[in-house]
Structure 1
């Protein structure tokens, strides 16, 4: 019962070992080309061309909401950058990317809060999140659920075993 209060403090910081190739390569890209992978990527998938006024308005609104969220750094989207690399070949999908501030745990919580606030459907647009911060948030949520399930199973089982071994409720509780 006391341990369940610690679920909010779970962290996945340090998921990648610091000397790993992925971390070295990311640092090299940053140094040489000024590139860093965004923490949160939102794929906006529309029922029609994302360049239509209706879908573009939704895309700009999503981007604006992301920009105004505390804990969010630089934000870019197809609609603000007009970068064809952020547009799919069929022009029915476009990206909104965001860098988040803070450590891994803070970025994951910001991503979780932001995605919940955005919702999955906005008119003709479906918002699909990805990126390292979102992956961490989802992993943390899965781990939290698994830990709670494990505790709910193991605590009563352990109590029964102790009761059987000590043959006394008082001794088992001690």
Structure 2
């Protein structure tokens, strides 16, 4: 007997919800569905409490303060906020140089290019024939005014995994 169920291979776009996650979330759809920002009624208070509980759990998992956890609508907004935020923080001290790889997600590349049109300095690193960024290439791209380096761990189209340990060491050595 053959199994004719389709196989979903586009997990770069979206994935099915893990049953454990769905079980945890189900009550929020029927019981705690309020707007967490609406703190003038019970439903808002309950939703806000759930958001703060999630924030604390995530902070505990990654070893930071819950005040350092920011929820966004998705990856594009988060990437945009991160790049713009780091650049804004670096501007007063002149740290306006961004380094990104040529194979970053468009949400990163497009934001970096937009920031360059508005005064940021941008270096786009090419990859080698195996799709990797070499530590030496990264070291050559860094400057005294580099504010941020963005190199994705695993490319969503090629599957190439970067050596973030080596690349991170280069950044730490340069104070980035």
Aligning the two structures, in what range does the TM-score lie when normalised by the shorter sequence? under 0.3
Bigger Cα Rg: 1
TM-score of the aligned structures, taking structure 2 as reference length: 0.25
TM-score of the aligned structures, taking structure 1 as reference length: 0.25
Q: Which structure carries more relative contact order (alpha carbon 8 Å, separation 6+)?
A: 1
Q: Which has the higher strand share?
A: 1
Q: Which has the higher helix share?
A: 1
